[in-house]
Amino acid sequence: MSVLAVKSLSKSFGGVHAVNQVSFTVARGEFLALIGPNGAGKSTCFNMINGQLAPDSGEILFEDKNIAGLAPRDIWRLGVGRTFQVAATFGSMTVVENVQMALISHGRETYGLWRPAASLHRERAIDLLAQVGMREAADRPSRELAYGDVKRIELAIALANEPRLLLMDEPTAGMAPRERNDLIKLVKQLVVERGISVLFTEHSMDVVFAYADRIIVLARGRLIADGDAAAIRENPQVQEVYFGTGKTFAHAQGAAP
């Protein structure tokens, strides 16, 4: 059974088909990359799955429940975690409070007015931080962290609701190559341990080819290829959309915006 099944998803903006009849699935435990040149419709597609955009038509089935058009928070409640392209934390909270906030929300304690939040789920939050290697930073203000560390915090937050599917929008954007590898390795390790499926978009082709179980390619709003790394590398259509724009996979590696 697939964790996520996208069926005939479409969205246009002012007559331009940003996403056009796209269908794909994510299998349980799969690490699936969604790639494509700029303007291919990756972000639109992604934002429809995470609830930020409502599709014009099509279905998004998460564990057989149609989540198309639901609000992001409702999708999250069903068991879908996410990270942002530009990592954001709650700047006025400490690192551990950021994670605690997610745990509090997951435990449906958001409207609690009495018990101090600082004591709620602190141990579990510290534990999650330890898993992403940020235990030492637990009580620092999160706004003081380096960008790479913020990405790790995000990961800890994303794991807080024990998701079955994790959506990651350009997880390594804005990071140095060394950091990138470390982060993705960490992600892969964590999701494999938990059996979480991952759908991620990524500009860095070495990350994609090295870690993705499967790759799907969008171009001008349409799905043009679906396969493992070797198949995608050899796919003439994929080569055309990338090389046709003057890029090669080698060039593209360092060119994340």
Partner 1 sequence: MTLSAFLFQALNGLASASGLFFIAVGLSLIFGVTRIINIAHGSLYMLGTYIAYSFATRIGGGLGFWGGIVATALIVCVLGALIEILLLRRIYRAPELFQLLATFALVLVINDATLWLWGSEDLLGPRAPGLRGAVEIFGRQLPSYDLFLIVIGPAVLLVLHFALAKTRFGRLVRAATQDREMVGALGVNQAILFTSVFALGAALAGLGGALQVAREPATLATDLIAIGDAFVVVVVGGMGSITGAYLAAVIIAEVKALCIAIGVVDFGFITVNFSKLTLVAEFLVMAGVLIARPYGLLGRPQGAVRSVAEAEDPIRPAAPGLKALAVAVLALLMGLPLLAQASPYLLVLGIDVLIAVIFATSLHFIMGPGGMHSFGHAAYFGLGAYGAALMVKWLAVPMGLGLVAAPLIALAGALLFGWFAVRLSGVYLAMLTLAFAQIVWAAMFQWEGFTGGSNGVIGVWPPPPFNSAAVYYLLTLAIAVIAVLLLRRFLFAPFGYAMRAGRDSPLRAEAIGIDVKRVHWLAFAIAGGICGIAGGLFAFAKGSISPETIHVGRSIDGLVMVLLGGIQTLTGPIVGASVFATLQDTVMRQTEYWRALLGLIILLLVLAFPQGIVGAVAQIFGRRRSP
Residues that bind partner 1 (CB under 8 A): 50, 52, 71-73, 76-77, 82, 84, 88-94, 97, 100-102, 104-106, 109-118, 120, 141, 143, 157, 160-161
Residue 79 or 148: which CB sits closer to partner 1? 79
Q: Which residue lies nearer to partner 1 by CB, 120 or 256?
A: 120
Contacts of residue 155, Cβ cutoff 8 Å, sequence gap at least 6 = 83, 132, 183, 186, 187, 190
CA-to-CA distance for 65 and 195, rounded, in angstroms?
20
Q: Considering only CA atoms, which of 249, 194, 244, 198 is closest in space to residue 219?
A: 244
Query: Hey, which residues does 57 pair with through a beta bridge?
Result: 10
Contacts of 243-246 with C-beta under 8 Å, sequence gap 24+, read 245/37
Q: Would you say 37 or 81 has its CB closer to partner 1?
A: 81
**To the nearest whole angstrom, how small is the minimum distance from the Cβ of residue 121 to partner 1?**
10
In the complex, the smallest distance separating the C-beta of residue 244 from partner 1, rounded to whole angstroms, is: 31
How large is the greatest C-alpha to C-alpha distance in the chain, in angstroms? 61
What does the alpha-carbon distance between residue 162 and residue 81 come to, in Å, rounded to a whole number? 8
We find the least distance from the C-beta atom of residue 135 to partner 1, in angstroms, to be: 17
Q: Kindly tell me which of 246 and 257 has the beta carbon lying closer to partner 1.
A: 257
Q: Which of 186, 242, 209 is nearest to 40 (CA)?
A: 242
As measured in angstroms, the least distance from the Cβ of 169 to partner 1 is: 11
CB of 210 to partner 1, least distance (A): 27
CB-nearer residue toward partner 1: 9 or 101: 101
User: How many CA atoms lie less than 13 Å away from 110 in the CB half-sphere?
Assistant: 5
Cα(6)–Cα(172) distance, rounded to whole angstroms?
Answer: 24
**Spatial separation of the C-alpha atoms in residues 195 and 209, rounded to whole Å:** 21
CB of 217 to partner 1, least distance (A): 26
Instruction: Look at the block and give the residue holding tokens 């903006």.
Output: 13
CB within 8 A of 154, min separation 6: which ones?
83, 84, 87, 88, 89
CB of 184 to partner 1, least distance (A): 21
For partner 1, which is the closer residue by CB, 100 or 204? 100
- In terms of CB distance, is 110 or 248 closer to partner 1? 110
